[in-house]
Amino acid sequence: MFSVIKGINKWRQLSPNVHKVRQLSAFESSSSPKRDMDLRESEEYMKDLPDQSLANPYRKAKRVCILCKYGIEVDYKNVQLLSQFVSPYTGRLYDKHITGLCERQQRVLEKEHKKAIQYSLISAAFRDPKYTKDPKLFDPTRPQRPNPY
């Protein structure tokens, strides 16, 4: 409490005419609308505005799924690609929040995976061990998006 009073007294010493300044209500403005328009058109005001041609530096980068980014088409005959999205423990496909695929590519992947199982190119239960040392397209333990459920 004492420090607040001390701060106010120090502020009054710096500006001795503070008590003479008329308090403005919330509905009053300090200048006329015409003066405000003149200020907005002045060069100093325009110089302080951000450049409109620059992109927003705070905007998050748009997420693009890895298959769309590189133009990869999913095919049931490409067993090595399909096995990247299959869990080695259960043999089921990972969800799209883990793989980071877009909705369209996830649907295509599921359709092609079922087709590969139907034609016996992939076992329905477990992932083929010969593809376990392939480079990782994503980390299943760290989903790219939070679980929607």
Total domains in the chain come to 1
- Residue 35 pLDDT level (bands cut at 50, 70, 90): low
Classify residue 44: in a domain, yes or no: no
Q: What is the pLDDT of residues 64-110, one digit of tens each?
A: 999 999 999 999 999 999 988 988 777 889 999 999 999 999 999 99
Residue 96 CB coordination number (10 Å): 21
Classify residue 85: in a domain, yes or no: yes
Determine the average pLDDT of the residues in 41-47: 75
Classify residue 109: in a domain, yes or no: yes
Backbone Cα Rg of the chain? 32
User: Are 84 and 130 a contacting pair, CB within 8 Å?
Assistant: no
Cα dihedral 142, 143, 148, 149, rounded to 10, equals -40
Classify residue 92: in a domain, yes or no: yes
Classify residue 19: in a domain, yes or no: no
User: Are 63 and 100 a contacting pair, CB within 8 Å?
Assistant: yes
User: Are 102 and 65 a contacting pair, CB within 8 Å?
Assistant: yes
Classify residue 113: in a domain, yes or no: yes
Cα dihedral 68, 71, 74, 79, rounded to 10, equals -110
CA 96 to chain CA mean position, Å: 16
Cα dihedral 106, 131, 89, 73, rounded to 10, equals 10
pLDDT at 109: 97
User: Are 81 and 131 a contacting pair, CB within 8 Å?
Assistant: no
Which amino acid type is present at position 29? S
Tokens 């405000």: give the residue. 36
- Residue 16 pLDDT level (bands cut at 50, 70, 90): low
State the residue range of the domain holding 117.
70-131
- The CA distance from 93 to 82, in Å, is 9
Classify residue 47: in a domain, yes or no: no
Classify residue 95: in a domain, yes or no: yes
Instruction: Tell me: pLDDT of 141 over 60.
Output: yes
**What CATH number is associated with residue 92?**
4.10.640.10
Count of residues for the chain? 149
